[in-house]
A and B are shown apart, each in its own frame.
Chain A
Amino acid sequence: MKALFALLALMLSAPVFAQSALPPAPYADRQIADPALERKAKALMETIRCLTCQSQSIADSNASMAADMRSQIREWIMAGEEPEHIRTWLIQRYGDWVSYEPTADPVLWPLWGAPLLLIGLGLLLLRGRIKGRNRS
């Protein structure tokens, strides 16, 4: 019985987030008035990884740090900063880890090469088949 009560209590309890009570930064959840700039900012935010919830982009995350990053990115974009420049700035601080955009780094060459390799392999197999059929 006690265990059941404990379980019920657990189900009713609200999760506690250790986050600040401050209101969010001005542009955390407010779009830039200029839609072209907002598109630019949004595209960048979707490829920047949240440091608190590490499998979400800062565009998806509710963490206060992600909100601060969104606001900062929007403010930089409004100030005329290029998205790729902001990405480089962040990578300088957090490493490649912070960006979801794959780079041309040698580590990633197999990733880029694999599709070509597989298509080549497929064509080779196809050629073998067609040749075999023609013969019979």
Chain B
Amino acid sequence: MRKLLIWLPLALFLAFFGLFASGLLKPDDRIITSKLVGQRLPSFSLPAAASDRPALASAQLVTGKPRLLNIFASWCVPCAAEAPQLMALKQAGVEIDAIAIRDARADVDQFLNRYGNPYSRIGLDARSSVQIALGSSGVPESFIIDGKGRIAYQHVGDIRADDVAMILQRMEEAR
């Protein structure tokens, strides 16, 4: 017994070493998903963020057909990178609305002029309050809202070219 006990500290050391090493070597997953996926969209009402698009309220996202809700900002670089993919989705018949985070109307107008405007409605969330209520942790993010107003899917980060087919598939599933 005593002989075995002598090895206990070493065994403990190796166990902890293994634990820390595996923690260090594991790829870092920093994506925080919303726990509201599968639940009802929280209700909100936002003023218009752009000059030529109407304001956005949560009721307008519940139309009996799935819609894509894009969270973006004119100051966000990946949002610009995502613009062509949103255009492609729009051309494929997806209805897209947006919430602009901490933005100003002139900046949003300029952003849309430069990168295109796939949105039907754009709400201005000047103080991130709707973003927080949605459980969204950054820009860009996209939510699929099904016809009954349930959050069917959350896409964290920009929609890449090879995500477009998957998003279309998810839109179909949310029907």
Contact = CB atoms under 8 A, between A and B. Distances in A.
A93 B128 contact: no
Interface in A52-80: 52, 54, 64-65, 68-69, 71-72
Interface residues of B, number: 25
Interface string B123-153: 0001111011111011000000000000000
Contacts of A92: 35-36, 135
A98 B35 CA distance: 11
Interface stretch (A7-15, A18-26, A29-37, A109-117): A18-26
A13 B19 CA distance: 38
Given A68-B127, A71-B127, A95-B35, A20 B73 contact: yes
Contacts of A94: 32, 34-35, 135, 137
Main secondary structure of the interface of B (DSSP, over half): loop
Contacts of A25: 127
Given A52-B138, A93-B135, A94-B135, A68 B102 contact: yes
B75 interface: yes
Interface in B47-105: 73, 75-77, 101-104
Contact of A21 (B35, B104, B129): B104
A97 interface: yes
A51 B35 contact: no
Given A21-B104, A92-B35, A94-B34, A68 B128 contact: yes
Contacts of B127: 25, 68, 71-72
Dominant secondary structure of chain A at its interface with chain B: helix
Nearest to B79: A18
Given A19-B75, A22-B102, A65 B138 contact: yes
Contacts of B101: 20
Nearest to A49: B32
A20 B81 CA distance: 17
Nearest to A97: B32
B102 A20 contact: yes
A22 B103 contact: yes
B34 A22 contact: no
A129 B132 CA distance: 57
Given A20-B101, A71-B127, A95-B35, A51 B73 contact: no
Nearest to A68: B128
Interface of A: 18-22, 25, 51-52, 54, 64-65, 68-69, 71-72, 90-95, 97-98
Q: 8 nearest interchain CB pairs?
A: A93-B135, A20-B102, A68-B128, A51-B137, A25-B127, A22-B102, A68-B127, A20-B75
Given A18-B77, A52-B138, 16 more contacts: A18-B75, A18-B76, A19-B102, A20-B101, A21-B104, A65-B132, A65-B138, A68-B102, A68-B127, A68-B129, A69-B128, A91-B35, A93-B35, A93-B133, A94-B35, A98-B32
